[in-house]
Each structure stands twice: as structure tokens, then as C-alpha cells.
Structure 1
Amino acid sequence: MTGKTHVAGGLALCMAADTFLLPHSGTPLYYVAGMAGALIPDICHIHSKIGRRLPLLSRAISSIFGHRTLTHSLLFLGIWALIFHIFFAEYTMIRDGLIVGMISHIILDASTVRGVRLFYPLDFRVRLPFYIRTGGAFERVLFLALSLYIVIYSLDTLKGWL
């Protein structure tokens, strides 16, 4: 998936989680964390949005683990959650946004041909039953659908405030 689809997916899943699971009630920091979290797993790809911003870290992670391994796994999500629990326990909206954003990233990448190694370090790839080609026509449709959901959710939330 491209960076813009990941950002839209992170924001859309944060909105859905905010409605059904989490009590953040539209906190902007939660949504910003969700969009950032949607980019973090691609730190293992040197040409990704985050990889280009942090090239030394990206190259190191890529050379040690490869692409779509550790950073696209349940282990990685657990490490992030543990770090926040130990060091930043009071920042729950940032933690939740980051985790939800990373989950959206992993789900979107699981819908590509390569899939993800969700259970890293096990050498087993998880793919959804349908495949999307990165940058292809279906990804553009998916991006538009996610964007439409974001707009509708935002308008509905705005209507509730008025």
C-alpha cells in the first residue's frame, strides 16, 4: 500500500474504534497518533515515507529484519504497547492511536500479494483472501472509500457538535 492509503486507513480505523471501542471522543491527538502509527510499520522499507525521513534507522531495521517481518507483527505491536505502558502510562490516547494506526497498516498490507509475517519470528505469511496490487486501481478505489468514510464520519461528528 502507498503512504496515503495507510494514513487514510489509520485515520478511518481510529474513527471506527473511537465509535465502537475506545472512549477518546474525537480527540485530535488520538487521530494524529493514529495517522502516525499507520506509517510506523514501514520503517523497515527505506523508500517509504517514514523510511525516507529516518534513513539510518530504516536501513538498520531493513538489513536486520527485512521488509514486512518484525514491524508488521503482533510482537511489534506488543513491544510498542509495553513501552507505552512502562514509560508513558498516562498518554493513553497517544498509545491507543498509535496501536490502532499500526493495526490498520498491518491489515492493509495483509491484503497485498506479499502479505505480512504477523506471527514473526515464525516464517509464516498471513494474507487476506483477496489481493490488492500496491498503487493499482483497486488501491485507488480503497483510498477513495476510506476518504469518503472519513468525510462522512467528520460531518456526522460536526453535526453532533452543532
Structure 2
Amino acid sequence: MTGKTHIIGGIAASLAYAYFSGSDPVILTGAGIIGALLPDICHGGSKIGKQLPIISKIINLIFGHRSFTHSILFLVIIAFLMKTFLPYETVTAGLIVGMVSHYILDMGTRSGIQLFFPIDFRVRFPLTTKTGSMAENVIFSVLALVSFYYGYHALSFYL
């Protein structure tokens, strides 16, 4: 999936989580966007990889793409670090929700993800799409509609 699809996926997931949990949608969504981009730190051409090229190259050399940073292990480590060093539940929740949205979207691609790293087994959905395809554009559009729906309802947090 492209960066824009991961971003809208993080927004949609964060706003839906805010709606159901009653959390602050602005903080949750900001953290969700970062979480939606974070797993691609292992890819130098990604939005986050371009911002942190040295870290991206090191992670890619050690682990490759869509392995460690796309795993449950990475998710647990990030959650632990967030709870330890930045104990704001809404920020942690947004980051984790964004990461999970990224994982789900990448499971919809042909190469899938190594969800159970270090076990060399890739997880993907039975129906997959190619990055940048018309199907991805449809997914993007649906996620945009979901974002508008939950964004509208999440505004009740401020009313």
C-alpha cells in the first residue's frame, strides 16, 4: 500500500477508536497517523524512511522489509516503550491503532507481512491487491468515507 493509503487507514482506525472509546479524537488521530507510517521505517522509499534515512537503512539491512517492523513483536515493544517513557494512554492507543491499521492494509498485498517474526511465515488475505492499483484506490476511498463518518461523530467529544 502507498503512504497515502496508510495515512487514511490510520485516520479511519483512530477516529473509529475515538468514537467507541470516548478518547480525544485529535490526539488519537495524530498518533494514529504516526503509527500508520511507523512500520515502513524498514523501507527507505517510504514517507518515514525518507525522513529518517540512516535509521531506515540500518533496520532494512538487519531485518529486511515487512518482517520485524510488521510483527506482533514490534507492536508489543512499541507499546511497552510508550507506556514506559511516554505514559499518555491516548497517544499510546493512537500509535498502536495506527500500526494495526498498517498491518491489516499490508496483509491485503501479495507479499503480505511477517506477522509472527522471527518465524519465517508471511500472513496475507486470500484476496490481495497490488500497490498503487485501482483496487487500492477503492480501498482509499472507502477509508476516506469511514474517516468522514467517524470524524463527524467524534466531534461530539468537543460539544
Which bracket does the TM-score occupy, shorter chain normalised? over 0.9
Residue 55 (structure 1) aligns with: 53
Residue 141 (structure 1) aligns with: 138
**Structure 1 residues 9, 30: closer, same or farther in 2, change over 3 A?**
same
Unmatched tracts of structure 1, length 5 or more: none
Percent identity between the two aligned chains: 48
- How big is each residue's C-alpha offset from its partner over 1:115-155, in whole Å with a ceiling of 9 and x where there is no partner? 00000000000001110110000000110111111112223
**Structure 1 residues 159, 34: closer, same or farther in 2, change over 3 A?**
closer
Q: Are 1:155 and 2:152 an aligned pair?
A: yes
Residue 130 (structure 1) aligns with: 127
Q: What is the correspondence of 1:75-90 to structure 2 with a 5 Å cutoff?
A: 75-89=73-87
Q: How many Å separate the matches in 1 of 2:148 and 2:45? A: 29
Normalised by the size of structure 2, how large is the TM-score? Answer: 0.94
Q: How many Å separate the matches in 2 of 1:23 and 1:158? A: 10
Aligned AA (1:12): A
Aligned AA (2:4): K
Q: How many Å separate the matches in 1 of 2:71 and 2:152? A: 34
Per-residue deviation, 1:160: 7.7
Residue 15 (structure 1) aligns with: 15
Q: How many Å separate the matches in 2 of 1:158 and 1:86? A: 30
SS of residue in 2 equivalent to 1:39: helix
Q: How many Å separate the matches in 2 of 1:148 and 1:111? A: 19
**Structure 1 residues 131, 160: closer, same or farther in 2, change over 3 A?**
same
Q: Are 1:100 and 2:97 an aligned pair?
A: yes
Contact between 2:24 and 2:90, CA under 8 Å: does it hold in 1? no
Q: How many Å separate the matches in 1 of 2:48 and 2:24? A: 28
Q: How many Å separate the matches in 2 of 1:107 and 1:56? A: 27
Residue 40 (structure 2) aligns with: 42
RMSD: 1.5
Q: How many Å separate the matches in 2 of 1:150 and 1:135? A: 20
Q: How many Å separate the matches in 2 of 1:14 and 1:160? A: 14
